Amino acid sequence: MKGVVFDLDGTLLDSMPTIKRCLNAILVKYGSAPLNDAELRPQIGRKFRDILAERIKDVEPAFKDYRELQLATFQQDTNAYPGAHRMLKRLAAKDVQMAIVTMRLGRVARTIVGAYDMAPPVRAVLGDDEVERPKPFPEAIWGACKALGTKPENTIVVGDTRFDILAGKAAGSRAIGVTWGYGRSGEMREAGADLLVDTFDELERAILSYESME
């Protein structure tokens, strides 16, 4: 049995408008300067709590406010990338086992994944609070493999940042970088990506091609 572990933000969902709006609302509320796109994009893939902690002294209430604002308003401006649902359904029809590993809190991520009708076909969702060391460390990938009943060496990790690629390679999996997200292609190559793809059709073909390998 083989599986795929997807990142969420920048890979399956275009959530940058929501992330930027909510982060900046909280930064301003707690007396810090908002982030522009050039400042924010390199931060994607890190823990949102850490991003706030670098700018706000009393981070716990700020992070709580950020989570609550995200949950209350994410459907305003977060959207599944065109082609994401079709690819997930087609992979499920081929018995590909799928999970999501994200830098969001697990319960928040599961709420969002459910709201966008991705679970099923996605069988498991792991957040950064559900492992001791999240991406770029491999523990979350191993946890997803355990939930799917797959071995890391028979699993593909898919994401849009170097953190996803580093986690996948550290776990002993193949790693595919997607170019439509928030990371940089050069950084994903340097992190060891086995392949970069530009479309969901390319990604689907790559996954199914690997599925046929023994």
Where residue 88 sits, what CATH number does that domain have? 3.40.50.1000
pLDDT beneath 50: ranges in the chain:
212-214
Do 66 and 117 have their domain in common? no
- Compute the mean pLDDT over every residue in the chain, rounded to the nearest whole number: 94
Do 120 and 176 have their domain in common? yes
pLDDT of residue 214: 42
HSE at residue 79, side-chain half, CA atoms within 13 A, is: 5
Do 165 and 184 have their domain in common? yes
Residue 50 belongs to domain spanning:
16-76
Do 176 and 126 have their domain in common? yes
pLDDT of residue 213: 41
Do 154 and 94 have their domain in common? yes
What is the rounded CA–CA span in Å between residue 168 and residue 39? Answer: 26
Do 128 and 28 have their domain in common? no
pLDDT of residue 2: 85
Do 35 and 86 have their domain in common? no
Do 62 and 84 have their domain in common? no
What is the rounded CA–CA span in Å between residue 103 and residue 121? Answer: 20
Choose one of 59, 76, 93: the last residue of a domain: 76
Do 121 and 177 have their domain in common? yes
Domains identified in the chain, total number: 2
Choose one of 25, 60, 76: the last residue of a domain: 76
pLDDT of residue 204: 97
Do 51 and 139 have their domain in common? no
CA-only gyration radius of the chain, Å: 17
What is the rounded CA–CA span in Å between residue 143 and residue 56? Answer: 32
